[in-house]
């Protein structure tokens, strides 16, 4: 093998090793980055479940612009409404649906394993305020003729 080919292979090997180390470092940083503490973060908006539903059904684009962020740093909301349903998702996290009787859709609030115990005293039909980060808004599927609920994550009850 001529010396020129050896030099090219050596440079390529060095570049690959540097690339792998850099990529690994970035992945390690992103994996260990602290998660957003929603409960310690100040609330961006306080509104009722009805107000959120009406706002999304009136103009989902304007509501998305107001509440959702592409970088994952969406707004923290405090939503007040009537508990229509209490369930559990596949991760074992409690889920409360806030929806008033006259509303077409509601707000699905998913709690965390840390905040799950706070749901034990909640009863259906009660009015509660729940704080969480919004992940998606209310929408209507014309093919199925069904409303999709808004989704809040990392929720906890406001006492």
pLDDT in tens, 82-126: 999 999 888 888 999 999 988 889 999 999 888 888 888 899 999
pLDDT higher than threshold 90 for residue 73 = no
Q: 123 CB contacts (<8 Å, ≥6 apart)?
A: 83
Mean pLDDT of 128-138: 91
Mean pLDDT of 37-60: 87
What does the pLDDT read at residue 36?
Answer: 67
56-64 contact pairs (CB < 8 A, 24+): 56/105, 56/137, 56/138, 56/139, 56/150, 57/104, 57/105, 57/138, 57/140, 60/137, 60/138, 60/139, 63/137, 64/137
Backbone φ, ψ for residue 60 (5° rounding): -65, -35
Query: 101, 82 in Cβ contact below 8 A?
Result: yes
What's the whole-model pTM score? 0.74
What does the pLDDT read at residue 98?
Answer: 95
pLDDT higher than threshold 80 for residue 135 = yes
What does the pLDDT read at residue 33?
Answer: 64
What does the pLDDT read at residue 42?
Answer: 81
* pLDDT tens track for 7-47: 888 899 999 999 999 998 888 887 776 666 767 778 889 99
Mean pLDDT of 65-91: 88
pLDDT higher than threshold 70 for residue 159 = yes
């Amino acid at each position: 093998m001529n010396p020129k080919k050896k030099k090219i292979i050596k440079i390529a090997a060095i570049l690959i090793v540097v690339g792998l180390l850099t990529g690994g470092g970035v992945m390690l940083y992103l994996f260990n980055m602290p998660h957003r503490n929603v409960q310690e973060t100040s609330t961006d908006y306080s509104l009722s479940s009805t107000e959120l539903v009406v706002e999304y059904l009136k103009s989902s684009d304007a509501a998305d612009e107001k509440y959702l962020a592409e970088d994952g740093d969406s707004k923290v909301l405090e939503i007040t409404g009537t508990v229509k349903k209490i369930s559990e998702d596949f991760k074992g996290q409690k889920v409360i649906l806030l929806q008033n009787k006259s509303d077409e859709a509601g707000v699905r609030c998913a709690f965390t394993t840390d905040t799950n115990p706070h749901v034990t005293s909640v009863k259906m039909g009660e009015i509660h305020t729940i704080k969480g980060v919004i992940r998606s808004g209310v929408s209507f599927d014309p093919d199925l003729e069904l409303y999709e609920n808004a989704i809040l994550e990392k929720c906890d009850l406001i006492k």
